[in-house]
């Protein structure tokens, strides 16, 4: 099969292979092998973000078109190192993804300054010195400070002996900065952050290396490749390159289940302000963020979580009319086969005529979810009943990234006002919306969706949701003062009924943290309401001058027989022998 989807602007060629690993109960969830197409007349769906982990490699590419515009014909695709190479002078579109190295010293920037792990008792675990993996990435680049392009290398590979997993004790820490530049920009946009930590075992073998395809004939427009694979090995080659978290031609970092009781984390030192929102796959997250003299320090630590993945096929004839109608107008990004299979039709996109009931009989197509938009949410809910509302597997994940949507209304206004990291939203639900909570009628709402059951089909899947929000942003949204904030978190099922959950709320070090745990699915709404008691009305005494009051004198008349005396004093008293008149 061929991958035809547009995965952002980066066009990495990834070799796809026939799945060879087991899907049984004893298989490793992190090594889930995609279900192959049963044959002609089948439509499928997969939601498994970890499937693209090995595409998150360093690369810097520049496109040239015949008319100097984005809609022109691609005439050159150049791989860049410093930007001075042939074809790297900016014309129409350029993109980089830099996998950040470990810092060389305390003055180094755009790098990992520390990697750490803590056990359930709070003990900090020993982390070995990091090595680069893969060390021979052919598309690593030096970067260019003048263009604000950081250097891109390989991920950091460490050993944590006190955090063993089924594949050993090695962990891969991959942090990336990525940005693009188009012909309507004066320079690269503010870079986006991406980060993941994975338990891995490095295995030796003959694997497919990542490489950007520079054959201009493969591109139907700037930034989009029509046939997104480079086949240098037979399709039946048994090496699990697609399952690797990172890969070279000779080594593969194969993922394993992470210990959930260990908190993993890293610290970054960057020359860019991470204004906006982050989203991720983690639990019990703790963040520390500061910017001084143009240098940003970000520290994140959290436990990994298990996230249900969906992988399912259906006969096209068995899909409802509403299901088919919902998909017909969409861009079909995924994996396709045309039957009968020939060299001429391998890798061809799905034609409009094949998106009909009759045309589907001669193809197989799997829709691959690559984002967390509203349409992606809708598609997921379409396929959930076909997947029998259960996960195909429950791989552990530790991931973090910049949101594509920074919200609207007061949420966006306060982000723009503060110009700093607004917050982090994390959840273990398969699907959610890639944006901050929406503010409506005094509540912050967040929509999530997932399977009701885990992979065994009987264990009810329990959801987690955490919102870590800048106290300044929260107060701005609600127009609160600096006084303490109270909050309530509620979970509402898709039918409007209350969904039981345990909630945790606290405010510390400039961050407001809210969490909901143990709720069930399929598509509930997490609703957060912040409140603050009104400040008491000042009493007159509270607003009076702090100077001591001047005592007022009074007068009395005193008599003794026919004699009278007038006495004036603060506390007047009659002399001895006299009585007050």
Identify whether residues 364 and 479 lie together within a single domain. Answer: no
Both 424 and 567 in one domain: the answer is no
Residue 391 in any domain: the answer is no
Q: Which domain holds residue 346?
A: 1-386
Domain match, 310 and 188 both: yes
| Average confidence (pLDDT) over 123-135 | 95
Residue with tokens 């003299």: 293
Each residue's pLDDT tens digit, 501-510: 777 778 888 8
Greater model confidence, 92 or 221: 92
Q: Are 152 and 70 in contact (CB under 8 A)?
A: no
pLDDT at 166 over 60: yes
Is the pLDDT at 542 greater than 50, yes or no? no
Domain annotation covers residue 548: no
Parallel/antiparallel/unpaired status of strands 219-221 and 224-225 = antiparallel
**Residue 174 located in a structural domain:** yes
Q: Are residue 296 and residue 444 in the same domain, yes or no?
A: no
User: Is 22 among the domain residues?
Assistant: yes
CB contact at 8 A, 14 and 3: yes
285: in domain? yes
Poorest-pLDDT segment among 58-67, 172-181, 407-416, 549-558: 549-558
Tell me: do 58 and 148 sit in the same domain: yes
Domain boundary among 386, 413, 448: 386
Q: Is there a single domain that holds both residue 319 and residue 463?
A: no
Give pLDDT tens digits for 323-340: 988 888 888 878 889 999
Confidence band for 562, pLDDT divided at 50, 70 and 90: low
CA dist 483 and 532 (Å) reads 7
Looking at 336, 351, 386, the residue that finishes a domain is: 386
The answer to whether residue 113 sits within a structural domain is yes
Asked whether residue 117 carries a pLDDT value surpassing 50, the answer given is yes
Indicate which CATH number applies to the domain containing 415. Answer: 2.60.40
Write the pLDDT tens digit of every residue in 338-383: 999 887 777 778 888 898 889 999 999 999 998 888 889 999 999 9
Could you give the 3-state DSSP secondary structure of residue 489? strand
Do both 459 and 354 map to the same domain? no
Instruction: Report the pLDDT value the prediction gives residue 263, as an integer from 0 to 100.
Output: 98
pLDDT of amino acid 439 = 87
Backbone angles phi, psi at 323, to 5 degrees: -65, -50
- 258 and 327, same domain (yes or no): yes
Residue 549 belongs to a domain: no
* Count of the separate structural domains present in the chain: 3
Q: Does residue 408 belong to any structural domain of this protein?
A: yes
26 and 120 assigned to the same domain: yes
Give me the chain's average pLDDT, please: 84
- Using only C-alpha atoms, the chain has a radius of gyration, in whole angstroms, of 31
Using the predicted structure, report yes or no on whether residue 521 has a pLDDT greater than 70: yes
Nearest CA-CA partner of 278 in 302, 262, 259: 302
- The C-alpha angle 434, 440, 443, rounded to 5 degrees, equals 90
Clarify whether residues 180 and 282 are in a common domain: yes
Give 540's pLDDT tier (boundaries 50, 70, 90).
low
- Regarding whether 223 and 348 lie in a shared domain, the answer is yes
CB atoms within 10 A of CB 364: 22
Quote the pLDDT of residue 557: 79
Do 509 and 559 belong to one domain?
no
Angle, CA 52 vertex, CA 229 and CA 141 arms, to 5°: 75
């Amino acid at each position: 099969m061929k991958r035809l989807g547009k995965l952002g602007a980066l066009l990495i060629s990834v070799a796809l292979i026939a799945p060879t690993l087991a899907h049984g109960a004893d298989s490793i969830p992190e090594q889930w092998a995609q279900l192959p197409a049963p044959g002609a007349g089948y439509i499928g769906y997969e939601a498994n973000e970890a499937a693209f982990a090995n595409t998150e490699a360093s690369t810097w590419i520049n496109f040239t078109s015949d008319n100097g515009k984005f809609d022109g014909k691609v005439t050159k695709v150049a791989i860049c190192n410093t930007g001075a190479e042939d074809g790297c002078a900016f014309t129409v579109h350029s993109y980089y993804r830099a996998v950040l190295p470990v810092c060389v010293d305390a003055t180094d920037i755009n790098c990992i300054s520390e990697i750490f792990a803590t056990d359930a008792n709070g003990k900090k675990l020993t982390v070995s010195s990091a090595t680069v993996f893969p060390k021979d990435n052919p598309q690593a680049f030096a970067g260019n400070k003048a263009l604000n392009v950081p250097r891109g290398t390989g991920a950091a590979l460490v050993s944590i002996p006190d955090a063993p997993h089924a594949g050993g004790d090695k962990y891969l820490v991959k942090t990336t900065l990525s940005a693009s530049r188009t012909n309507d920009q004066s320079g690269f946009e503010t870079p986006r952050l991406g980060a993941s930590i994975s338990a891995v075992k490095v295995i030796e073998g003959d694997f497919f290396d990542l490489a950007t395809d520079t054959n201009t004939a493969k591109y139907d427009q700037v930034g989009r490749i029509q046939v997104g694979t480079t086949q240098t090995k037979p399709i039946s080659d048994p090496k699990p390159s697609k399952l690797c978290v990172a890969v070279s031609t000779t080594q593969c970092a194969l993922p394993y289940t992470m210990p959930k009781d260990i908190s993993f984390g890293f610290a970054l030192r960057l020359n860019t302000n991470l204004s906006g929102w982050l989203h991720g796959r983690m639990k019990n997250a703790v963040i520390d963020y500061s910017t001084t003299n143009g240098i940003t320090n970000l520290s994140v630590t959290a436990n990994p979580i298990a996230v249900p993945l969906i992988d399912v096929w259906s006969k096209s004839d068995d899909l409802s009319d509403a299901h088919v109608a919902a998909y017909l107008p969409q861009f079909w990004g995924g994996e396709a086969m045309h039957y009968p299979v020939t060299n001429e039709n391998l890798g061809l996109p799905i034609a409009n005529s094949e998106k009909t009931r009759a045309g589907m009989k001669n193809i197989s197509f799997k829709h691959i979810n690559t984002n967390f938009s509203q349409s992606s949410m809708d598609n997921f809910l379409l396929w959930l009943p076909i997947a029998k509302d259960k996960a195909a597997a429950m791989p552990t994940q530790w991931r973090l990234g910049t949101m594509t949507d920074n919200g609207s209304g007061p949420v966006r206004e306060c982000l723009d006002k503060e110009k700093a990291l607004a917050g982090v939203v994390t959840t273990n639900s398969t699907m959610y919306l890639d944006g901050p909570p929406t503010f409506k009628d005094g509540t912050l709402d967040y929509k999530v969706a997932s399977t009701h059951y885990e992979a065994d089909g009987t264990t009810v899947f329990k959801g987690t949701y955490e919102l870590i929000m800048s106290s300044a942003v929260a107060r701005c949204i609600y127009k609160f003062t600096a006084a303490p904030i109270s909050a309530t978190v509620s979970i509402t099922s898709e039918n409007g009924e209350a969904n039981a959950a345990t909630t945790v709320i606290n405010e510390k070090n400039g961050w407001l943290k809210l969490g909901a745990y143990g709720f069930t699915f399929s598509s509930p709404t997490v609703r957060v309401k912040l409140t603050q008691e009104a400040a008491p009305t000042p009493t007159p005494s509270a607003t009076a001058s702090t100077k001591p009051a001047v005592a007022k004198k009074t007068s009395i008349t005193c008599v003794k027989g026919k004699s009278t005396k007038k006495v004036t004093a603060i506390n007047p008293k009659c002399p001895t022998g006299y009585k007050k008149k």
